[in-house]
Chain A
């Protein structure tokens, strides 16, 4: 069973608020990822990190930002939430010890911006 956690699981917030979605893993994985999942189920990579102090933007442009100060922690921040940010956000991780680069996913945060 994967040990990767996301909080909150559900969040309803008003436009203009600043929010941080938390993601933590206890597997010591060096690589972590954030995906946005649209209602049609498709996954879009929005951020990734090779390790501490390393962050990169993914394939889908996003107004969110991320940080990686500790190996186990990879929070995502939206400075000013908008209705267009309403989505499911999934965090994942992988490490050099995982065979074939499989990713372990958290349970997701479902964000609704009103």
Chain B
């Protein structure tokens, strides 16, 4: 079945540091890929997405590129801020069925001033 593996946290960075959170996936066919973010005390919200190979999703300074050859969708940001402190989930969705989304286990990011 489908699965998502993302790097374990917590990740602690200083403000303005470069961020990479690794995500790899296993899936049949051509899934859509997502990064969701969960701020403390809230539900998940979509951060960015890519629906086909070589697409780059971007939002709020975050980027991720759908790499089919390496089955990866790594999240990057050039300069993190304290307000980026949150939990980040990598996810995939395959077509058909009940449009199930498979989530990674989440990576907690803490940015310190």
Q: Which residues of B contact A (CB under 8 A)?
A: 32, 34, 36, 38, 41-46, 49, 51, 87, 89, 93, 95, 98-101, 103, 105-106, 108
Contacts and interface: CB of A to CB of B under 8 A. Distances in A.
A56 interface: yes
A105 interface: yes
Give the 6 A-B residue pairs with the shortest CB-CB distance, closest first: A105-B43, A100-B32, A101-B93, A41-B106, A105-B44, A100-B51
A20 B56 CA distance: 41
Contact of A41 (B87, B95, B98): B87
Given A41-B106, A94-B99, A102 B42 contact: no
Given A100-B32, A100-B51, A102-B34, A107 B42 contact: yes
A90 B44 CA distance: 9
A113 B34 CA distance: 33
22 contacts: A31-B98, A31-B99, A40-B105, A41-B38, A41-B106, A42-B106, A43-B44, A43-B89, A43-B106, A45-B100, A50-B98, A90-B43, A99-B51, A100-B51, A102-B34, A102-B46, A102-B49, A103-B44, A104-B46, A105-B36, A105-B43, A107-B43
Contacts of B108: 41
Q: Is the interface of A mostly helix, strand, loop or mixed?
A: mixed
Given A90-B43, A108-B43, A101 B99 contact: yes
Interface in A30-74: 31, 40-43, 45, 48, 50, 56
